[in-house]
Structure 1
């Protein structure tokens, strides 16, 4: 994540974002091996356009890193994605501190 969420709206936002089961499946699918969108789409039986949208969102939040690679056969350009390590712990103390900010 691009820094830990510090305010209640930021905490609610990341929890809502990660509350989507398909996004979590995508993170799990690329947690140990980088893959490109078509591979993820076929593996999870989610449409490729939706996988691409989710990957871009995950990348924006810093949960996924995309790497462009050129290939000798079509498609000549592929973007591979891999989940980035993160840890987010929610406690009452975290909520209390966020309320005060």
Structure 2
């Protein structure tokens, strides 16, 4: 579960997840893991941008990546899968988050 402790952390998480392209990437890898080119073709975003977003999502713990050897080029591919998470935002969360 994403658990922001401060208002800036909450704002950062909401801003990060508020990006439609990132959400489309997450949606593309919920059921089946895919590598960047497959995701790029499915969501209509350039491969370099997909790679940037995947690294950000992986760093945030929302995506996990696994390297695999393929039978055709590119021989080394990194497959990504969305990780389960829950984010609850309500007035209680706003009350609990401090400015620390």
Does the alignment reach a TM-score above 0.5?
Answer: yes
- Taking the aligned partners of 1:100 and 1:55, their CA distance within structure 2 comes to 29
Separation in 2 of the partners of 1:5 and 1:61?
12
Structure 2 residues without counterparts, runs of 5 or longer: none
Structure 1 pair 100–37 and aligned structure 2 pair: CA distance change class (3 A): closer
Where does structure 1 differ by over 2 angstroms across 4 or more consecutive aligned residues?
none
> Residue 94 in 1 paired to residue 93 in 2?
yes
SS in structure 2 opposite 1:82?
A: strand
For structure 1, the 5+ residue unaligned runs are none
**Structure-2 residue corresponding to 1:10:** 9
CA distance in 1 between counterparts of 2:99 and 2:61 reads 25
Tell me how far apart the structure 1 counterparts of residues 23 and 43 of structure 2 sit (CA, whole Å).
11
- Following the alignment from structure 1 to structure 2, what is the Cα–Cα distance between the partners of residues 52 and 77? 15
Q: How many residues align?
A: 100
C-alpha separation in 2, matches of 1:64 and 1:92? 28
Aligned to 2:54: 55
CA distance in 1, matches of 2:25, 2:74: 22
- SS across alignment from 2:97: helix
Q: Within 5 Å, which residues of 2 pair with 1:22-33?
A: 22-33=21-32
Q: What TM-score do the two structures reach when normalised by structure 2?
A: 0.94
Report the TM-score when normalising by structure 1.
Answer: 0.93
Contact conserved, 2:8 with 2:99, CA < 8 A, in 1? no
RMSD of aligned Cα (Å):
1.3
